[in-house]
Structure 1
Amino acid sequence: MLLLLLLSFLNLSCSWAASGSVYETFLHCLTHQPNSTNQVSSIVYSQKNASYTSVLRAYIRNARFNSSATPKPLLVITPLQESHVQAAVICSKQVGYQLKIRSGGHDFEGISYISETPFFILDMFNLRSINIDMKEESAWVEAGAILGELYYRIWEKSKVHGFPAGVCPTVGVGGHLSGGGYGNMMRRFGLSIDNVVDAKIIDIKGRILDRKAMGEDLFWALRGGGGASFGVVLSYKIKLVPVPETVTVFRVERLLEENATDVAYKFQFVAPKTDNNLFMRMLLQPVIRNKKQTVRVTIMTLYLGGADSLVSLLGKEFPQLGLRKEDCREMSWIDSALWWASLGVGNPKTLLDRNLDSAKFLKRKSDYLQKPIPKRSLNLIWKTLMELGKTGLVFNPYGGRMDEIPESETAFPHRAGNLFKIQYSVNWDSPDIELEKNYTSQIRSLHSFMTPFVSKNPRSAYLNYRDLDIGINHNGENRYNEGRVYGVKYFNENFDRLVKVKTIVDPENFFWNEQSIPPQPGRGRRL
């Protein structure tokens, strides 16, 4: 066993040391692909390239994975056109290296840009075109575009159209949509993937396939199943949704010393059942006030309508909140996107800022709540939050359109029966190992504490909140069983159908990562 480990280490070291020859071999392959251009040498960065570090770091969004000890790719490939992506897939397979696919870099566990085996990164950030057809009320969006760019381009064409997706404008379209994609209009319009009508993907053979060519099974998998398990998603065709000229937002905070417990308790009954045009997010955070520990309950809202009707609605349904018109702000939908991203209002061009090489130290986890938490249990949660000291919870309401779509409609299964998706969240500011141990321990402790209140058999999780705590695939002989551990949590009963699709389109499991869909047992081989 020791000898095998030593040989494995030596092989790995030799592979990494030979990055120069890998670069030359890969580049030679690229230049001999159909439709090859003189540009290919400018899109590949080896570790010896002066720009390698800046290109690699630009889209690392979790500072935990930006240290000298973090495994680095042998090559970063930055395609400028679709044929470059085709060639990258073919040549990566030919030279025998793992290919990681990155769009915006917001993968919480860095799965799109780190690996324990020698690997390449295919970084899609140059493929960011957005073509909007207002006559058809649709748009083709390339995978490397960010949500802020999408919102801005829609706004340029129409002040009464939008798209239901995330509130963080620097998130990449490719990963966001392939994992489901939710935002503050999902109770009215569903998830991002519920508004996707076509897609283009490059498969293991280097072919470009649209919905008709790929077939309905693969198109189904690309909507919520994680595109990187099946190929390289090039773009999505989305349908735009109508938004009113005026929407309303508010942010109301309550401490335990006020009526925070009553607000949090009643919120659970109102937020998933109220008017579909209303989305209310609740944040639960331990804070210090007057040198004493307490908990702050924050309600953030997007309402697709005016302030008067919102105040009237919540006055009847949620009197504990005590909402007043002066708490509300009326604005355009594009300004609400800025407001939710804490970017101020009035300057939509801010949404185009990619904030390169900006990262926080963070850890995230997720859960689904299917029954309201009793008041006595809320009091225990307050105590736990204060004891831990930093980790918070975010409750995102379901209901509305989410209750109307069958869980088998797309690969994303978490529909009717869920009141909220819960995000566990902790950030810190320093690359201190002890700090990281402390805060990751905190969030895991809170996740464990919440076990009695959340979904069971399986305890479900959200794919786009990647969490390696719930399982890792090593791409060995046991890869199906390893994949099933996290797969049923992310996909519930849809996991088996995803495995069947994977087995058909990528039986050799070239497109794999630490939490990808595995092929069926006994199919293919380890690359």
Structure 2
Amino acid sequence: MGDSCSAFLPLLLLLLSASLVASDSIQDSFYKCLSVNSQISFPLSTSFFTPNISAFTSILQSSAQNLRCLVPSVPKPELIFTPLNESHVQAAVICSKQLGIQLRVRSGGHDYEGLSYMSQVETPFVVVDLSKLRSIDVDIEDNSSWVQAGATVGEVYYRISEKSKTHGFPAGLCTSLGIGGHITGGAYGSMMRRYGLGADNVLDARIVDANGRILDRESMGEDLFWAIRGGGGASFGIILSWKLKLVPVPATVTVFTVPKTLEQGATKILYKWQQVADKLDEDLFIRVIINVASAAAKGERTVQTSYNALFLGGVDRLLKVMSESFPELGLQRKDCTEMSWIESVLYIAGYPSSTPPAVLLQGKSLFKNFFKAKSDFVREPIPETGLEGLWKRLLEEESPLMIWNPYGGMMSKIPESEIPFPHRNGTLFKIQYLTSWQDADKDIAAKHIDWIRRLYNYMASYVSLFPRTAYVNYRDLDLGMNKDGRNTSFIQASGWGNKYFKNNFNRLGF
């Protein structure tokens, strides 16, 4: 959903059970059915978008992050429906089932393979875009907030900060993520080492199941409530809203970004980071952003590693922690900036320092291009020789990016079976690989995708094995997919399901 639409969707399998209606009647049939089944009427001109109206393309592209999924050759929806209330979503599910139309649902559009707004097969489908369902009700006394699925994590952070400077929520670093789909995959962020994932901090939810029923935690039961918190977006229903458990944050936090190039000893420093990152004070999150930059020598390129951090406390205690645990980075007071937690959200998301927090209400993605991404989890430090081979391969690509996110802390204390997200104790860090380009040309895309696949193959001996695991919110269709939408067996699906969920896939699959 939104940020991670599952490639093996039980909900969609139900919706595909009937024979498809003729393409030329889908729009009329769907609209008539919605009108009959919705308790509340909706304005056609602002809720129902078909390919023959000018607004269709802008609505389709509005939250689509990966332009690779919008090229002309990719199948487009028969229509986009933007519900204004819960009964509209109910009606969309009921009508999709009655008419045999495939349903795609998006909250933020950050799913890496575009599965919330495209189809891998030539099958008519409808997109239900939840962007107008974005109310946020923060209750500081109860330490909770009800948040509709179409709200972005940035909006959630901002609305919490309006009510309290000492409350927060441990979800994503990218502020334009749709909260609905984001949490269905787990939702990691810069406070995960202190409080766990966003999905670990959900108290209740409202969903529409495959039969069009609206269910909360009590009525859906604990098995389904377990599954939706990390089991993959749209796999078990459409998320309408989450009840989030707010967490305490200090009035003052500290951030820093320290870059190190190969010429500045990046290899040895990164090897040391791997040994300590999961063991640092739980209030300290240091991720490493790795890219290729211009070297000191004119015309040369080098690898740059940037240590980007949030510390839930003041600079004095941070410097003490770093001097004791990671002196190799050489962190100095001048590298650090104290600020409020909401200001740190903007900092970690990459906004300029003078940006007012209200920008989070715009919900717009800072990252929109053609890209391909993959992920890995690492359980043993990668040796320096392995890193040197990695640098060689990064320097072959035009715009490579890697992000290494540390685990440990609370992530090691929560059992693997607590929710479907299984990457817990023993995981040192997660790697995100990404390559991007600016041209829709197929040959250009193929070149970059071939490069990231070769890089992924190179890393095989340094990452988790049996299975080689992956993060479901970084959906990667190279790992496997439901080829025709309905005829994939559980055994076939386990080939990729185990990579995302490990042993938890057995519980998700039955």
Deviation at 1:358, TM superposition (A): 7.1
1:37 & 1:118 partners in 2: Cα distance? 25
User: Secondary structure in 2 aligned to 1:257?
Assistant: helix
1:22 & 1:445 partners in 2: Cα distance? 42
The TM-score with structure 2 as length reference comes to 0.92
Bigger RCO of structures 1 and 2 (CA < 8 A, at least 6 apart): 2
Aligned positions of 1:95-494 closer than 5 A: 95-115=99-119, 116-289=122-295, 290-346=298-354, 347-355=356-364, 359-474=368-483, 475-494=485-504
User: Secondary structure in 2 aligned to 1:234?
Assistant: strand
Aligned AA for 2:312? Answer: L
RMSD: 1.8
Listed one character per residue, the Cα deviations across residues 13-69 of structure 1 (whole Å, up to 9, x for unaligned) are xx9995452111111111111514253674222222332122111111111112222
**Hey, what does 2:5 align to over in structure 1?**
none
2:399 & 2:406 partners in 1: Cα distance? 23
Listed one character per residue, the Cα deviations across residues 355-405 of structure 1 (whole Å, up to 9, x for unaligned) are 379721111100000001112222222222223453232110000000000
CA contact (8 A) 1:57 1:357 kept: no
Deviation at 1:122, TM superposition (A): 0.7
Deviation at 1:431, TM superposition (A): 1.9
Deviation at 1:488, TM superposition (A): 0.5
1:358 & 1:48 partners in 2: Cα distance? 28
**Hey, what does 2:29 align to over in structure 1?**
25
Q: Which runs of 5+ in 2 are unaligned?
A: 1-18
CA contact (8 A) 1:138 1:239 kept: yes
The question of 1:52 aligning with 2:61 is answered: no
1:336 & 1:42 partners in 2: Cα distance? 36
1:276 & 1:358 partners in 2: Cα distance? 29
2:89 & 2:301 partners in 1: Cα distance? 52
Count of aligned pairs between the two proteins: 486
**Hey, what does 2:80 align to over in structure 1?**
76
1:229 & 1:24 partners in 2: Cα distance? 27
Identity of aligned residues (%): 50
2:282 & 2:228 partners in 1: Cα distance? 27
CA contact (8 A) 1:60 1:357 kept: no
User: Secondary structure in 1 aligned to 2:264?
Assistant: coil
Aligned AA for 1:77? Answer: F
1:37 & 1:65 partners in 2: Cα distance? 32
Deviation at 1:262, TM superposition (A): 1.6
Q: Which runs of 5+ in 1 are unaligned?
A: 1-14, 501-527
Aligned positions of 1:481-520 closer than 5 A: 481-500=491-510
Deviation at 1:294, TM superposition (A): 1.9
The TM-score with structure 1 as length reference comes to 0.89
Listed one character per residue, the Cα deviations across residues 203-222 of structure 1 (whole Å, up to 9, x for unaligned) are 11111100000000000000
Aligned AA for 2:460? Answer: T
Aligned AA for 1:354? Answer: G
2:108 & 2:486 partners in 1: Cα distance? 29
- CA 42–251 in structure 1, closer or farther in 2 if over 3 Å, else same: closer
Listed one character per residue, the Cα deviations across residues 433-480 of structure 1 (whole Å, up to 9, x for unaligned) are 222112111111111100000000100000000100000112343332
Higher mean C-alpha displacement, 147-156 vs 48-57? 48-57
Deviation at 1:178, TM superposition (A): 0.7
- CA 306–353 in structure 1, closer or farther in 2 if over 3 Å, else same: same
User: Secondary structure in 2 aligned to 1:181?
Assistant: coil
